[in-house]
Amino acid sequence: MSKIAASGMPITPEGELSAAAAAARANPLDDAAFGAAVAAMRAQLEAWAGRAGSSALPPLNRSTLLALDIDGTILDINGEVPPRTRAAVVAAAQAGVQVVLATGRGIEAALPVADFLGLTRGWMVCANGALTVRLDPKLKGTPSLPGGYEITNSVTFDPTTAIGRLHQVLPEAIFAVEMPGRGFLTSADFPPGELIENTTTVSLEQLSSQPVSRVIVRAPGMALADFEAAVRSAGLHAVEYAIGWTAWLDVNAAGVSKASALDALVSGLGVKHTVAMGDGANDLEMLRWADLSVAMGSAPARVKNATSVVTEPVWHEGAAIVLAALSR
């Protein structure tokens, strides 16, 4: 495996994984167990196709768009892409599948993952759908932005009301706003490793001084149930928001989701089939949107219940299992 810097919404509950899950991570599937998992997944997929009234599964070629969440789907809690997962994604891209990383990460945190997977041409959806990025190594940079990509769509909003309401109920929380392609302004330092993008600490008032693509609220050490209750009491409206595995909140403009960005892309790419894989609340709209949706085995019940099939967790290479089953 190769380690990539972690960034963004933590992908497992604070308190770490259960002992059983931790043991599973320490003992990856051998070839026989992986082959058995692929066969079982093929059966799941064929059963899904039958229920959906389809005579065939989505082919791994140019007619298919494959949307992949990053953290908890292809990247584990240690910031590693398992080897079979990397090989499967690379093979899909080489077969012509339009692989799109669809992530809550900002651009600077998503680019190293794209590079590691060899996805230097194509598209990414970042910041939960607020930013659509075209990748092309021929694109030249500017004094403020590196080369290799351009932002083709950026959906921003005035964060003043959301920050004000959330600060009333979470006065000790850390706030951040995302500036498209320029990193984050933060009210204080985030826990180490949670934001690898450029950050600048400013006053809470300065966070609301201009339109932003996303607001992040982080309350380290706060119980998730208490955090969820506080967010609900804030009375947020006219925005989209998702709470992570821990006391972390993403807030985007109304109507923005990974699904909204992907849907806009599909119309211009000429694809006939859509496949999406994810594990978190910020993946729900994308999973409901896709023709074939896949929940990781570590996903909460409400995510699993919204999908076509459920695969193994990332540490058992669930994404690779699905891609291998589709290629049979």
The predicted-structure confidence for 91-132, as pLDDT tens digits, reads as follows 999 999 999 999 999 998 999 999 999 999 999 999 999 999
For the residues 139-168, what does the mean pLDDT come to? 88
Residue 299: pLDDT above 60?
yes
Task: Answer whether 209's CB lies under 8 Å from 127's CB.
Answer: no
Question: What is residue 58's predicted lDDT score, i.e. its pLDDT?
Answer: 95
Q: Per-residue confidence at 5, pLDDT binned at 50, 70, 90?
A: low
**Domain 160-253 CATH (choose: 3.60.70.12, 3.50.50.60, 3.30.1240.10, 2.40.50.100):** 3.30.1240.10
Question: Which residue in this structure is represented by tokens 């320029």?
Answer: 182
Please report the DSSP string for 261-320 in residue order.
HHHHHHHHHT-SEEEEEE-SGGGHHHHHHSSEEEE-TTS-HHHHTTSSEE---GGGTHHH
Q: Per-residue confidence at 204, pLDDT binned at 50, 70, 90?
A: very high
Single pTM value for the model: 0.91
Domain range annotation of the chain: 17-154+257-326, 160-253
Q: What angle do CA 242, 248, 249 make, to 5 degrees?
A: 35
Quick check: do 17-154+257-326 and 160-253 share a fold? no
> What is the dihedral angle through the alpha carbons of 190, 191, 196, 202, rounded to the nearest 10 degrees?
20
Higher pLDDT, 40 or 55: 40
Percentage of residues in the chain having pLDDT higher than 70:
91
> In Å, how far from its chain's centre is CA 2?
19
* Whole-number average pLDDT of the chain: 91
Residue 24: pLDDT above 80?
no
Strands of the 64-68 sheet, one edge to the other: 149-154, 131-135, 122-126, 98-102, 64-68, 273-278, 292-295, 309-310
Question: What is residue 242's predicted lDDT score, i.e. its pLDDT?
Answer: 93
Question: Phi and psi (nearest 5°) for 220?
Answer: -55, 135
140 contact partners, CB below 8 Å, separation of at least 6: 147
Question: What is residue 296's predicted lDDT score, i.e. its pLDDT?
Answer: 98
Q: Per-residue confidence at 81, pLDDT binned at 50, 70, 90?
A: very high
For the residues 263-272, what does the mean pLDDT come to? 92
CA-CA distances (angstroms) from residue 72 to 93, 173, 205, 255, 318? 20, 24, 34, 24, 10
For the residues 240-268, what does the mean pLDDT come to? 94
For the residues 54-63, what does the mean pLDDT come to? 92
Q: Which CATH architecture has domain 17-154+257-326?
A: 3-Layer(aba) Sandwich (3.40)
For the residues 145-159, what does the mean pLDDT come to? 90
Cα first-last separation, the chain: 25
> What is the dihedral angle through the alpha carbons of 133, 138, 142, 147, rounded to the nearest 10 degrees?
60
Q: Which of the residue ranges 55-59, 87-91, 155-159, 256-260 would you say has the lowest mean pLDDT?
A: 55-59
Residue 247: pLDDT above 80?
yes
Residue 1: pLDDT above 60?
no
For the residues 41-47, what does the mean pLDDT come to? 97
Task: Answer whether 4's CB lies under 8 Å from 79's CB.
Answer: yes
8-35 as b/e: b if 16+ CB within 10 A:
bbbbbeeeebeeebeebbeeebeeeebe
Question: What is residue 13's predicted lDDT score, i.e. its pLDDT?
Answer: 45
Question: What is residue 125's predicted lDDT score, i.e. its pLDDT?
Answer: 98
- Calpha distance 242→215 (Å, rounded): 11
**Phi-psi sector, 183: left (phi>0), alpha (psi -120 to 50), beta:** left
**Phi-psi sector, 235: left (phi>0), alpha (psi -120 to 50), beta:** left
Question: Which residue in this structure is represented by tokens 């009491």?
Answer: 233
